[in-house]
Amino acid sequence: MKFAYNFSDITNEALGYAGGKGSALCRMYNAGIDVPNGFVILAEAFENNELKKEAHLEIKKCLEMLTEHTFAVRSSALSEDSAKTSFAGEFESVLDVARADVFSAIEKVAASAKSERVSEYSKIHGIDDEHKIAVVVQSMINAKMAGVLFSADPITGSHVNMVGNFVFGAGEQLVSGEKNAYPFTISRIDRKYNGDKELAAYAKILYKAALKAEKIFGCMLDIEWVVDGGKLYIVQARPITTLQTIDYDTYEINQSLDTDALWSSNNVGEAVPDVMSPFTWSLLHEMDLECQKVPGYFMFGNICGRTYSNISVMISSLRVLGYNVEKSKELISDVFGNIPKNIEVPIYPFGRVYLIKEMLQRSKKSIKRMRDSKKQKAYYLENTPVWYVETLERIEAANNREELLGLWTSDVRPFLSVLWNIWFGGAGSATLATLRKKLAKMAGEELANLLCSNFSGEQSLVSMKPLLAIEQVISGSLTPEKYLELYGHRSPHEFEVYYEYPADDPFYIEKQIKEFKNANLNATGLMKKQQSEFMKGKELFLQKFPGKEEWLEKKLEKVSKDAHTRESLRNEFVKVFRVMRHLLLKIGSVTGIGEDIFMMYCFEVPKFLQGDTEMLVKLPIRRKNFEEYQKLPVFPQLIRGRFNPKEWVNSKDRRQDYYDPNAETPVKDENVIKGFAGAPGTVEGRVRILHSFEEAEDFQKGEILVTTMTNIGWTPLFPKAAAIITDLGAPLSHAAIVARELGIPAVVGCGIATTELKTGDFIIVNGSTGIVRKRS
């Protein structure tokens, strides 16, 4: 590797030593963006911030390649212009440098790494002040106009407009405040420029350069530009530090700060209800990338450890396909719940032609994946149970890094991706959503939910089996060992590898049997009773629509088949998570780091097994932040805009259903709570608030269960409940589906039930209308 490289000749290896500014300029130059020509002197050319003698010849050769007479010599520290810190203006820059003075300017810039202001900036940001510095030398541009452009609003995170300002003359006047700046915006929706007319001729060029730079760096940018001789040049581009919301070193993460969006914990919050460990988050992030539909935009976000879906991405994509916002909300409501009328959904200004082209290209891959999924589905449903048992045995037998690395790279990690693609591509939940909406329009919500209460059909759903199989263990038709093999991976925390699974608890079966016997539970009886109600509902529907019998039978058969497939695929998919936990625990045991392995990211594990220990020093601070996130209460179901959990916790006006500082507070009836009609029926009774499944032993038979959300791990508790109420949820959520199968009235997606009700309250639950009323 050389000490100095012209922009056009730099290698990928050398980019790592070119510093933030130098690397960015080289990448943009080689991508065809107009950047003043120049070269970069790598950090390796300096020792104690002084230029090595052996670097002089290479620098002279690079300088000879430039024909201009004056130059700009600027710092490019390896810590500069990063996602976390910009160091803007902290290091020295020397402008209008004559060719004869270039070397003295380089020495001056390099020496600035030891300056007091750089040291103070480093201390404030908690950065080592021993800065490795590279230096950039460029042809000097005598700017007629100079300015900055933020490709997203740095205050709100909105992507609707690019915003910026400029001055006439050199950019230093903008930074110093010597001259008043002229503000401007460029709309991403119609590319319309709004600002001083002198810049209008360059707005389109600037807009296109910004989009090109975003593609290179994969984030929203703070771009510096100048105009000279009728031409616009980009002289710097760095991430907008206020919008960079993931610190991989420390696991400080809050992606609500990254963009103005509407986030929802509905649906995904049932699957992953806990604060995610760094490992689990990174794994889900990789899976999100595998099924990404809109380039540069992820479906899931992490807000201080909790997972949320980006509703703005979904609705913005549907708008491009021709649906208005209200119709889009309706289309996703069965899965993600209703969005209150006082909450505005921020829309991303996706370009119609570009996005449709991208989505078509990705759809081809998705269609292929779905076709492959259908081919592979039967194989993996049949063979995963065998793989599960055998792989756990192989993990137990492994006793060195090489064996564990082989299990990771050649077996467990790729097996997870295969099952994820099969589940995601072939789960078939759309048919249920479509049918339920159709039935609701034809016959009303109550009858629609009743007709959707028998997905089990001739065989019980996989999600019901952990409950029903306990009865088999009690009767002696199923051994405890076989129960744990078949269902011991299903848990309230089943997508979080940090927590142990029921199969890892030696007393789990004993506790379940004791609970069943003490409460005199009869889940099979409840299902039979509900199946009788389902038949009555079907008869009632056919009385209203006598010509629809064949249509209804076909639709119900299709939905039941899809429900069984979806549940079965998820069941096998979850098995891989338990295998993953056991593999991680074994790695922790063999290497001596124990449960700190869960503080590693997924992509770090194979590196660690191959001898890389650089991440180990970062694990304690990640654990500290992970545990701090665990201390915070569950966040609101919906979050709009930039969310600060500590401010929210201390706010006297804090709400559990939504957070939106711009929303008007609706008038509410103090005695009425509204949600979705989850499962039909009306019940009166006493409330029992459970904030987590770990409090389940407090729950008494005949009480009304009120909690944030439920998933399959909560199923054994359901037969004890007179009714079920959740903050999160929608008609197709776990609580609604299982409650309908058991004939237990349920109201889901209330948003505020756990904060408006308290244990001991006497209430009326109407699962047919989705209304809960307090009684004095």
Interval 46-92: pLDDT, tens? 988 789 999 999 999 999 999 989 999 999 887 654 444 444 445 68
Dist. CA 47–CA 107, nearest whole Å: 11
Q: Please, which residues have CB within 8 angstroms of residue 193's CB and are 6 or more apart in sequence? A: 184, 185, 186, 187, 199, 200, 203, 204
Q: Which two tokens stand for residue 306?
A: 């909790």
Continuous segment of H or E residues that includes residue 359: helix 352-397
Beta strands in 615-732 (DSSP E): 638-640, 658-659, 672-674, 676-679, 682-690, 704-707, 723-726
Dist. CA 17–CA 132, nearest whole Å: 9
> Residue 366: what pLDDT?
62
- For residue 658, how many C-alpha atoms fall within 13 Å in the half-sphere facing its CB? 23
Considering the chain, tell me which residue range(s) the CATH 3.30.1490.20 domain(s) occupy. 1-140
Q: Which two tokens stand for residue 135?
A: 């230096």
Dist. CA 94–CA 111, nearest whole Å: 12
Task: Name the residue with higher pLDDT: 103 or 432.
Answer: 103
* 658-662 average pLDDT score: 92
pLDDT band at 118 (very low <50, low <70, confident <90, very high): very low
Contact yes or no for 136/38 (Cβ under 8 A) = yes
pTM of this structure:
0.82
Task: Name the residue with higher pLDDT: 242 or 613.
Answer: 613
* 573-580 average pLDDT score: 96
Report the DSSP pairing between strands 723-726 and 746-748: parallel
Dist. CA 260–CA 220, nearest whole Å: 13
Contact yes or no for 323/352 (Cβ under 8 A) = no
- For residue 387, how many C-alpha atoms fall within 13 Å in the half-sphere facing its CB? 21
pLDDT digits (tens, 9 = 90+) for 385-402: 999 999 999 999 999 999
* 641-648 average pLDDT score: 94
> Residue 775: what pLDDT?
87
> Residue 293: what pLDDT?
72
Dist. CA 713–CA 331, nearest whole Å: 28
* 222-243 average pLDDT score: 92
Strand partners, 677: 747
Does residue 173 have a pLDDT over 60? no
What CATH number has the domain spanning 1-140? 3.30.1490.20
Least confident of 31-45, 114-128, 282-296: 114-128
Q: Which two tokens stand for residue 623?
A: 């654990």
* 234-258 average pLDDT score: 90
> Residue 730: what pLDDT?
86
> Residue 124: what pLDDT?
43
Continuous segment of H or E residues that includes residue 583: helix 549-591
Helices in 126-226 by DSSP H: which ranges?
Answer: 172-176, 197-217
Report the DSSP pairing between strands 638-640 and 658-659: parallel
Does residue 689 have a pLDDT over 90? yes
Contact yes or no for 467/734 (Cβ under 8 A) = no
Report the DSSP pairing between strands 672-674 and 723-726: unpaired
Dist. CA 776–CA 774, nearest whole Å: 7
What's the DSSP call for residue 294? B
* 237-244 average pLDDT score: 84
In the numeric block, the tokens 């004993």 are attached to 510
Superfamily of domain 672-775: Phosphohistidine domain (3.50.30.10)
Dist. CA 576–CA 384, nearest whole Å: 9
Q: How many helices (H) and strands (E) does the chain have?
A: 26, 28
Dist. CA 204–CA 210, nearest whole Å: 10
Reduced to 3 states (helix: H, G, I; strand: E, B; else coil), residue 122 is helix
Least confident of 1-15, 105-119, 227-241: 105-119
Q: Which two tokens stand for residue 658?
A: 């939504």
The CATH architecture one would assign to domain 142-244 is 2-Layer Sandwich (3.30)
pLDDT band at 195 (very low <50, low <70, confident <90, very high): very high
Count CB-CB contacts under 10 A for residue 385. 15
Task: Name the residue with higher pLDDT: 116 or 93.
Answer: 93
Dist. CA 577–CA 256, nearest whole Å: 27
Report the DSSP pairing between strands 182-187 and 193-195: antiparallel
CA pseudo-torsion sign 451, 455, 459, 465: negative
Dist. CA 486–CA 473, nearest whole Å: 12
Contact yes or no for 572/384 (Cβ under 8 A) = yes
Continuous segment of H or E residues that includes residue 226: strand 221-228
Out of 106-120, 388-402, 652-666, give the one with best mean pLDDT. 388-402
Contact yes or no for 73/101 (Cβ under 8 A) = no
Considering the chain, tell me which residue range(s) the CATH 3.50.30.10 domain(s) occupy. 672-775
Reduced DSSP (H G I as helix, E B as strand, rest coil) percent helix, strand, coil of the chain, to 5? 50, 15, 30
> Residue 129: what pLDDT?
46
**Degrees, nearest 5: CA angle 200-203-208:** 165
Longest CA–CA span in the chain (Å) reads 97
pLDDT band at 720 (very low <50, low <70, confident <90, very high): very high
Contact yes or no for 675/748 (Cβ under 8 A) = yes
Contact yes or no for 534/559 (Cβ under 8 A) = no
Reduced to 3 states (helix: H, G, I; strand: E, B; else coil), residue 563 is helix
What's the DSSP call for residue 81? T
> Residue 125: what pLDDT?
44
Phi, psi torsion values for 775, nearest 5 degrees: -115, 140
Dist. CA 428–CA 436, nearest whole Å: 14
Task: Name the residue with higher pLDDT: 104 or 177.
Answer: 104
Name the CA radius of gyration of the chain, rounded. Answer: 30
Phi, psi torsion values for 138, nearest 5 degrees: -135, 160
pLDDT digits (tens, 9 = 90+) for 439-476: 989 999 889 888 888 776 667 888 889 999 999 999 99
Out of 165-174, 252-261, 617-626, 690-699, give the one with best mean pLDDT. 617-626
